[in-house]
């Protein structure tokens, strides 16, 4: 699905741009991403409600951590909504539009005056962020995340992060509410947030060295073998 499939929905509108939400944390110190000397990029992925409810408990856990579970990337679709950090304010995500962008696969709210009326269901979504030394487009980074290509940089100088999964309606309906786009960061009831606590920010962490990932995988395999023998 993530390779670019477009589902048969009209496109709702969402807002990715906002301030004071993007941070790095190297395990010792954390702080907002800085725009003056470094660049960071962001992408919104989503899936419809029926796809989410059809996931097994294991897959629902896996989609929360794509770096550790790259095969789960195929369970998401790409909204086509991207952004990058602001050069003016630390921690800020700029663009693609402060008034909203059409999100592929994310349906509009319908014609009802009530949010989500007309039988519309919310979409589930997550937001990914990474440093520019891993790639300056989602088309590049998706190949690294799914294992097709190696990460160009790992360790202390690399950054990748993912928000928790939330669910929400989009904006852009023809009814009386909502009048415009919906922020993926907002937790306000006025924006129609459906639940799961919303998304308050994204923390970027160093990408583990390949040897660390291998050892983690071997550790998990050993645990499975131990359990089977007992």
Residue 173 is assigned to a structural domain of this protein: yes
Residue 5 is assigned to a structural domain of this protein: no
Average pLDDT estimate for 75-81: 95
The pLDDT value given to residue 11 = 79
The pLDDT value given to residue 45 = 96
SS3 178: coil
| 13 bridge partner residues | 102, 171
Residue 130 is assigned to a structural domain of this protein: yes
Residue 164 is assigned to a structural domain of this protein: yes
Residue at token pair 């939400």:
21
Residue 7 is assigned to a structural domain of this protein: no
The percent of residues in the chain predicted with pLDDT above 70, rounded, is 72
pTM of the model: 0.83
Residue 47 is assigned to a structural domain of this protein: yes
Residue 188 is assigned to a structural domain of this protein: yes
Split into its structural domains, the chain has a count of 1
At 20-51, the pLDDT tens digits run 889 999 888 889 998 766 799 999 999 988 99
Using 50, 70 and 90 to split pLDDT, how confident is the model at 179? low
At 97-134, the pLDDT tens digits run 777 788 888 877 666 655 555 666 778 999 999 999 99
Instruction: Look up the domain containing 123 and give its range.
Output: 12-229
Residue 106 is assigned to a structural domain of this protein: yes
- Whole-number Å distance between alpha carbons of 111 and 175: 4
Under a CB-based contact definition with an 8 Å cutoff, are residues 129 and 42 in contact? Answer: yes
Peptide bond just before 28 cis, omega within 30 deg:
no
Instruction: Pick the closest to residue 186 from 115, 132, 134, 138 (CA basis).
Output: 115
């Amino acid at each position: 699905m993530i390779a670019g499939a477009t589902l048969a929905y009209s496109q709702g509108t969402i807002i990715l741009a906002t301030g004071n939400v993007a941070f790095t944390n190297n395990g010792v110190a954390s702080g907002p991403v800085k725009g003056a000397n470094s660049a960071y990029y962001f992408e919104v992925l989503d899936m419809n409600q029926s796809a989410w409810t059809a996931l097994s408990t294991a897959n629902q856990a896996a989609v929360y951590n794509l770096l550790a579970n790259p095969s789960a990337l195929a369970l998401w679709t790409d909204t086509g909504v991207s952004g990058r950090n602001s050069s003016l304010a630390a921690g800020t995500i700029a663009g693609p539009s402060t008034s909203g962008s059409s999100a592929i696969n994310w349906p509009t709210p319908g014609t009802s005056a009530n949010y989500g009326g007309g039988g519309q269901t919310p979409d589930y979504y997550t937001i990914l962020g990474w440093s520019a030394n891993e790639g300056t487009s989602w088309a590049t980074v998706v190949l690294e995340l799914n294992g097709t290509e190696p990460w160009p940089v790992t360790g202390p100088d690399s950054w990748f992060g993912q928000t928790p999964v939330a669910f929400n309606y989009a904006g852009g309906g023809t009814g009386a509410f909502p009048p415009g786009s919906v922020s993926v960061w907002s937790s306000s009831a006025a924006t129609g947030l459906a639940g799961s606590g919303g998304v308050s920010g994204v923390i970027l962490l160093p990408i583990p060295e390949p040897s660390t990932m291998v050892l983690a995988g071997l550790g998990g395999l050993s645990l499975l073998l131990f359990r089977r023998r007992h």
